[in-house]
Amino acid sequence: MTSTARHYDAIVIGAGSGGVRAARIAASLGAHVAIVEERFFGGTCVNVGCVPKKMFAYAAGLQDNFTLAADYGLSVGKVALDWDVLRDNKTREIERLNGIYRQLLEKAGVVIVEGSAQITGPGTVQVGELQLTAPRILIATGGTPFLPDIPGRDLALISDNLFYLPQLPERVAVVGGGYIATEFAGILNGLGASVTQLYRGDQILRGFDDDIRNHVAEQMQQQGVRLTLDTDVTRIEAVGEGRRLHLSNGETLEVDAVFYATGRTPKVAGLFAAGAAPALTEQGAVVVNAEFETSVPGLFAVGDVIDRVQLTPVALAEGMWWARQQFGNQRDVPPPSYENIPTAVFSHPPIGTVGLTEADARARHANVKIYRSSFRPLKYTLGNQQHRTLMKLVIDADSDKVLGLHVSGDDAAEIVQGFAVAVVMGATKADFDRTIGIHPTSAEEFVTMRD
């Protein structure tokens, strides 16, 4: 028997990107909303994901700028990283953002409930001794890092740990080939660690365009990352303060720390009481229909926990659409589209991409034309840095429509965000050709590519 019971129009479980947006929009439309959070406001992205990761990526890239300064005739003294300053300045900013997310919810009139939530039945959520009820419950709990079940897994670190290390390790292994592992390898290398990235596949960044994958791998190795492919870790053991990795190729690798970035799984552990869970996939993702409703009437889910597209802006769009559908009477507005979602990888070099890869385009279209441009940006031509940019357009040769646009190099994300508007609108190669370029820029390459 609960000591307290409260009733709402909607209960949102999880105060990450999707949950906060859904709660705020619903409250602004007049709903009485409660949001339950057990860890921190803003979710993974704000606290141990996108935001601190990009801060660290900025720091990792500054070494190049000091070299460039000398190339441009500016005297630069001795450069040394103070890890404590970087880490603590980051933490202070993240704490500020946490407070902002809380204030946004409070100003919107959302009731904040801190604690671990469990759905005990239709329309009912238990948080400690507090029972919450509502005709609509939205699950927005996100995901959690995955660690494979190998001997010594307790000796490995996950991506969350990087942002709070007491000191920067000198020798690091990063296990994984996705965008998080690739970003972390570049960050740690740029900050001065000796980095080995281990991946069981034949090339990193599966799912991205093959030319981009190869370009990033080549540039990373040129910058000092040791990339070991077709190799997995079979066992981890402690050696003094360090770690010894036993590899599938029979070799061993000794490092000071090993980070795992081998994917994320939906965060549903402990969320459902016996008999209260909706349909889940084999991987634990919550199954939803086009309106984000689960197999249990009145129970909905958005964001990484449904494992459609694990990106913060997608969770935001899903949460906002759900709230407007439920409380804004906007039934004629279609749900978010998962086509032509622009995305970025803050690797070294970074990636920006929107639309189809060349391989996907050839699988879907009979006649595909490719335009590529690879060059050394003007920025680096006064010195010896050999950073290069790769740009690529994927065109349907029958309709002339731009199917995909990909870039790896400086400012990739900023470039692609603008071009993504054109791709979403259905721009053609002729539209690109008619557009006057801004000279001298890297972005102008996309409007000057010719046969």
State phi, psi for 36 to the nearest 5 degrees. -115, 130
* Active-site residue, 215 included: no
Write out the DSSP string of 70-133: HHTT---------HHHHHHHHHHHHHHHHHHHHHHHHHHTPEEEES-EEEEETTEEEETTEEEE
| The one catalytic residue among 7, 348, 406, 439 | 439
Radius of gyration of the chain (CA): 24
Question: 339 near 361, Cβ under 8 Å?
Answer: no
Burial of 387 (0-12, 13-18, 19+ CB in 10 A): middle
Q: At 158, is the secondary structure helix, strand, or coil?
A: strand
Q: How far apart are CA 347 and CA 182, in angstroms?
A: 6
| Nearby residues of 346 by Cβ (< 8 Å), 6 or more positions away | 53, 54, 57, 183, 186, 413
Hey, CA dihedral for 270, 275, 277, 281, is it positive or negative? positive
| Bridge partner residues of 242 (DSSP) | 239
Residue 204 identity: I
Of 205, 223, 248, 157, nearest to 406 by C-alpha is: 205
Give how far Cα 39 sits from Cα of 10, 118, 373, Å: 20, 15, 45
Q: Residue 239 is encoded by which pair of tokens? A: 């050696």
* C-alpha closest to that of 299 among 124, 113, 105, 115: 124
| 189: amino acid identity, one letter | N
DSSP summary character for residue 443? G
**Which residues are known catalytic residues?**
439
